Amino acid sequence: SCPYSCYCLHEAAKYEKKVMVLDFVTPTPLGNSWGLGGTCVNVGCIPKKLMHQAALLGQALEDSRKFGWQFTEEVKHNWMTMTESVQNYIGSLNWGYRVALREKKVTYENAYGEFVGPHTVKATNKRGVEKLYTAERFLIATGERPRYLGIPGDKEYCISSDDLFSLPYCPGKTLVVGASYVALECAGFLAGLGLDVTVMVRSILLRGFDQDIANKIGEYMEGHGINFIREFVPIKVEQIEEGTPGRLKVIAKSTKGNQIIEGEYNTVLLAIGRDSCTRKIGLDKVGVQINEKTGKIPVNDEEQTNVPYIYAVGDILQDKLELTPVAIQAGRLLVQRLYAGATSKCDYVNVPTTVFTPLEYGACGYSEETAVEKFGEENIEVYHSHFWPLEWTVPSRDNNKCYAKIICNIQDNERVIGFHVLGPNAGEVTQGFAAAIKCGMTKEQLDSTIGIHPVCAEVCV
Amino acid sequence: PVLLLEPVPQNPGPQNEYDLLVIGGGSGGLACAKEAAQFGRKVAVLDYVEPSPQGTKWGLGGTCVNVGCIPKKLMHQAALLGSALKDAQHYGWNIAQPVHHTWSLMAQAVQNYVKSLNWGHRVQLQDKKVKYFNMKGSFSDPYTIRGLTKAGKEVSCCVISAILPVCSQIAGALEYGITSDDLFWLKKSPGKTLVVGASYVSLECAGFLTGIGLDTTVMMRSIPLRGFDQQMASLVTEHMESYGTKFLKRCFPTKVEKLESNRLQVTWKNTDLGTEETDSFDTVMWAVGRAPDTEALNLEAVGVKTNSETGKIVVDASEATSVPHIYAIGDITEGRPELTPTAIAAGKLLAQRLFGQSSELMDYDNVPTTVFTPLEYGCVGLSEEMAVRCYGSDNIEVYHAYYKPLEFTVAERDATQCYMKVVCLREREQRILGLHFIGPNAGEVIQGFALGIKCGATYPQLMKTIGIHPTCAEEITKLHITKRSGLDATVTGC
B74 and chain A: CB distance < 8 Å anywhere?
yes
Report CA A134 to chain centroid distance, whole Å: 33
Closest CA to B253 of B216, B278, B232, B231: B278
Render B353-365 in DSSP notation, one character per residue.
Answer: HHHSS--PPP--T
Closest CA to A397 of B212, B81, B211: B81
Mean pLDDT of chain B: 89
Q: Which residues in chain B have their CB less than 8 angstroms from residue A82's CB?
A: 91-92, 410
Tell me the mean pLDDT in the region B289-303.
81
Report the percentage of chain A scoring pLDDT > 90.
82
Yes or no, beta carbons of A452 and B341 under 8 Å apart = yes
CB contact at 8 A, A23 and A110: yes
| Cross-chain CB nearest to B449 (options A58, A86, A432) | A432
The per-residue pLDDT for range B414-465, each reduced to its tens digit, is 999 999 999 999 998 999 999 999 999 999 999 999 999 999 999 999 999 9
Q: Which residue of B has its CA nearest to A361?
A: B468
Is residue B11 over pLDDT 80?
no
| Cross-chain CB nearest to B88 (options A57, A428, A461) | A57
Q: Which residues, at least 6 apart from B101, have a Cβ–Cβ distance to it below 8 Å? A: A68, A69, A70, B78, B82, B212, B213
The per-residue pLDDT for range B40-83, each reduced to its tens digit, is 888 889 888 889 999 999 999 999 999 999 999 999 999 999 99
- CA B329/CA B336 separation, integer angstroms: 9
Is residue A10 over pLDDT 60?
yes
Burial A137-148 (b: 16+ CB within 10 A, else e): ebbbbbbbbbee
Burial B61-93 (b: 16+ CB within 10 A, else e): bbbbbbbbbbbbbbbbbbbbbbbbbebbbbbbb
> In angstroms, what separates the C-alpha of A170 from chain B's closest C-alpha?
12
CB contact at 8 A, A44 and A164: no
Integer-rounded Cα Rg, in Å, for chain A is 23
- CA A16/CA A264 separation, integer angstroms: 58
Number of other CB atoms surrounding residue A206 within 10 Å: 21
CB contact at 8 A, B25 and B43: no
Question: Phi and psi (nearest 5°) for B92?
Answer: 105, 0
Question: Phi and psi (nearest 5°) for A395?
Answer: -80, 5
Q: Which helix (H) or strand (E) holds B90?
A: helix B69-90
> pLDDT-derived band of residue B150, with 50, 70 and 90 as boundaries?
very low
- CA B408/CA B406 separation, integer angstroms: 5
- CA A288/CA B27 separation, integer angstroms: 64
The per-residue pLDDT for range A114-137, each reduced to its tens digit, is 999 999 999 999 999 999 999 999
- CA B388/CA A278 separation, integer angstroms: 53
DSSP SS3 for B213: coil
| Cross-chain CB nearest to B93 (options A75, A394, A460) | A75
Chain B residues 450-479 with CB within 8 Å of chain A: 450-452, 454-457, 461-462, 464-474, 476-477
What pLDDT shows up at residue A399?
85
- CA B188/CA B77 separation, integer angstroms: 19
The per-residue pLDDT for range A323-362, each reduced to its tens digit, is 999 998 898 899 899 988 889 888 888 999 999 999 999 9
Is residue B3 over pLDDT 80?
no
Tell me the mean pLDDT in the region B104-126.
96
Number of other CB atoms surrounding residue A408 within 10 Å: 24
B493 and chain A: CB distance < 8 Å anywhere?
yes
What pLDDT shows up at residue B300?
81
Yes or no, beta carbons of B85 and A60 under 8 Å apart = yes
- CA B326/CA B23 separation, integer angstroms: 11
Is residue B13 over pLDDT 70?
no
- What letter does residue A74 receive in the DSSP assignment? -
Q: Which helix (H) or strand (E) holds A369?
A: helix A368-375
The per-residue pLDDT for range B365-392, each reduced to its tens digit, is 899 999 999 999 999 999 999 999 999 9
DSSP SS3 for A200: strand
CA B277-B282-B284 angle, to 5 degrees, is: 65
> In angstroms, what separates the C-alpha of B373 from chain A's closest C-alpha?
14
- CA A411/CA A375 separation, integer angstroms: 9
- CA B425/CA B248 separation, integer angstroms: 38
What pLDDT shows up at residue B322?
87
| Cross-chain CB nearest to A431 (options B106, B448, B450) | B448
> In angstroms, what separates the C-alpha of A95 from chain B's closest C-alpha?
10
Q: Dihedral sign for Cα B67, B69, B71, B76, please.
A: positive
Q: How many Cα atoms sit within 13 Å of B212 on the Cβ side?
A: 29
CB pairs under 8 A between A and B: 294
Tell me the mean pLDDT in the region B401-410.
96
Beta bridge partners of A267: A174
Q: Which helix (H) or strand (E) holds B20?
A: strand B20-23
Which carries the bigger pLDDT value, residue A56 or residue B2?
Answer: A56
Beta bridge partners of B23: B3, B46
Q: Which residues in chain B have their CB less than 8 angstroms from residue A4's CB?
A: none
Tell me the mean pLDDT in the region A250-270.
97
Closest CA to A450 of B98, B88, B378: B378
Yes or no, beta carbons of A75 and B94 under 8 Å apart = yes
Beta bridge partners of A20: A107
What pLDDT shows up at residue B380?
96
The reply to whether A453 belongs to the active site is yes
- CA B168/CA B48 separation, integer angstroms: 24
The per-residue pLDDT for range A312-325, each reduced to its tens digit, is 999 999 988 899 99
CB contact at 8 A, A140 and A146: no
The per-residue pLDDT for range A16-52, each reduced to its tens digit, is 789 999 999 999 999 999 999 999 999 999 999 999 9
B93 and chain A: CB distance < 8 Å anywhere?
yes
Beta bridge partners of A149: none
- Residue ranges of B for the binding site for FAD? 73, 137, 331
Q: Which residues in chain A have their CB less than 8 angstroms from residue B100's CB?
A: 69-71
Q: Dihedral sign for Cα B460, B465, B466, B472, please.
A: negative
- CA A83/CA A66 separation, integer angstroms: 29
- CA A123/CA B2 separation, integer angstroms: 75
Say what angle helices A45-66 and B69-90 make with each other, to 10 degrees: 120
Taking the model in full, what pTM does it have? 0.93
B418 and chain A: CB distance < 8 Å anywhere?
no
DSSP SS3 for A409: strand
Is residue B237 over pLDDT 70?
yes
CA A313-A316-A321 angle, to 5 degrees, is: 80
Q: In the sheet where B419-425 sits, what is the strand order?
A: B369-371, B377-381, B432-438, B419-425, B396-402
User: Count H helices, E strands: chain A?
Assistant: 13, 24
Report the percentage of chain B scoring pLDDT > 90.
69
CA B342-B345-B351 angle, to 5 degrees, is: 135
Q: How many Cα atoms sit within 13 Å of A176 on the Cβ side?
A: 28
Question: Phi and psi (nearest 5°) for A274?
Answer: -130, 145
Q: Which helix (H) or strand (E) holds A242?
A: none
Is residue A459 over pLDDT 90?
no
Integer-rounded Cα Rg, in Å, for chain B is 24
Tell me the mean pLDDT in the region A292-308.
94
- CA A34/CA A20 separation, integer angstroms: 20
H helices of A67-203, where?
Answer: 79-103, 154-157, 161-164, 181-192
Q: Which residue of A has its CA nearest to B407?
A: A50
Yes or no, beta carbons of B96 and A72 under 8 Å apart = yes
Q: Which helix (H) or strand (E) holds A152?
A: none
- What letter does residue B156 receive in the DSSP assignment? S
Mutate to test the interface with B, among A9, A67, A388, A443 (most CBs of B within 10 A): A67
Would you say the ipTM is above 0.95? Answer: no
Tell me the mean pLDDT in the region B250-259.
95
Tell me the mean pLDDT in the region B85-102.
94
Is residue B155 over pLDDT 80?
no
